[in-house]
Amino acid sequence: MAMKPKVYVLDPYHKDAIALLRSTDWIDLILWDDSRKADWQKDAVGVMLRSDTRLTGSDFRLAAAAGNKLRVVVKQGVGVDNIDLAAAAAAGVAVHNTPALNSESVAEFSLALALSLSRRVTEIDRRVRQGEKVARSRVLGLSLFRKTVGVVGMGNIGRIAARKWIGACESRVLAYDPVAPRGVWDREQIPHTRVGSLEELLREADVVTLHVPLLDSTRGMIGGRELACMKDRSILINASRGGIVDERALLEELRRKRIWGAVLDAVEVEPPTLEAYGDFLELDNVIITPHIGASTIENQSNSGLAVVRTLLAVLEGKDDVPGKLV
């Protein structure tokens, strides 16, 4: 009898995704809490992962040395900076992601973060929990109604974020993306002004929300010079990837309290620790969360199921499986 292909799930997935895998009787399933996971390179035919695990060139070389059994890697979400794509291509391994599925949740969370900061929700909550009597006249928030929102990155998340800002706050939207085709939002009738430079957006926006992947061209794109361009009492949102914002420069800007503050769901050290971000967390004008923009019950179920269906389709030899990167 032919051996069943071994599928390794390297990171925790939603129970619905695991149920679908368990119901697939032609695979041998190894989950993240199984001791065999440590040696997955020896016999994995398919691999599922999230952002918690990195697949390096060494991993792909070990898999190839074991007989080149590995056929496909599927990552939940859009970002694949934790996978060495060049090494995967060299080893003949297909890499897929799940584009667009996280967009609604991430856009929703970026809006929630900005409103929480502007109305000082987390700051006031902490003070109440500490037993402080809070004088309302001393904790005035900042209204974002009909303010200008600058969306950096005009992909799926940026598009949905723009719609949410318009619907929730009647925002004027500026958009910047050096590679998106001309008129990319026009067919969806999203009212916006597309600017020709990041600097122009930063100088006009009351809220700057980042929705770009981490690439050589975007690493450090918001540094000291860019932060200095931002308006007084403006808000910076990074719900995309750590590394896009120069965190040292941001810390200095937050300490000056010229801008209203920053909300960060993506930082360079993930998950964020007190050791790495203690200086940030001493400040009231910053909110840091551990990259949970996509973490809703609904999204984790849908995304996990999409990963499983993608992996199974590749192993079944189907053509035109969505999300292929390599």
User: What residue ranges define each of the domains in the chain, with the CATH number in brackets?
Assistant: 6-101+298-315 (3.40.50.720), 103-288 (3.40.50.720)
Per-residue model confidence as pLDDT tens digits over 75-131: 998 889 899 999 999 999 999 999 888 899 999 999 999 999 999 999 999 999 999
Region 170-186: what's the mean pLDDT?
96
CA distances from 97 to 73, 76, 219, 311 (A): 9, 6, 21, 10
Q: Is the pLDDT of residue 138 over 90?
A: yes
The pLDDT of residue 320 is 86
pLDDT of residue 240: 94
Q: Which pLDDT value is given to residue 1?
A: 54
Look up residue 244 and give its two tokens.
């896009």
pLDDT over 80 (residue 311): yes
State the chain's mean pLDDT as an integer: 95
* CB-neighbour burial class of residue 249 (10 A; exposed 0-12, middle 13-18, buried 19+): middle
Active site residue 123: no
> Edge-to-edge strand order for the sheet containing 94-96?
28-30, 6-9, 44-49, 72-75, 94-96
pLDDT tens digits, one per residue of 243-283: 999 999 999 999 999 999 999 999 999 999 999 999 999 99
Q: Which of 120, 241, 247, 253 is catalytic?
A: 241
Contact between residue 35 and residue 62 where contact means Cβ atoms under 8 Å apart:
no
Res 49: pLDDT:
97
* List 119, 203, 258, 270, catalytic entry: 270
Residue 134 has pLDDT above 70, yes or no: yes
Distance CA 276, CA 95 (A): 32
pLDDT tier at 234, thresholds 50, 70, 90: very high
Give me the catalytic one of 192, 194, 211, 291.
291
Instruction: Give residue 246's identity as a one-letter amino acid code.
Output: D
Q: Is 270 a catalytic residue?
A: yes
Residue 172 annotated in active site: no
What token pair was written down for 44?
A: 């994995």
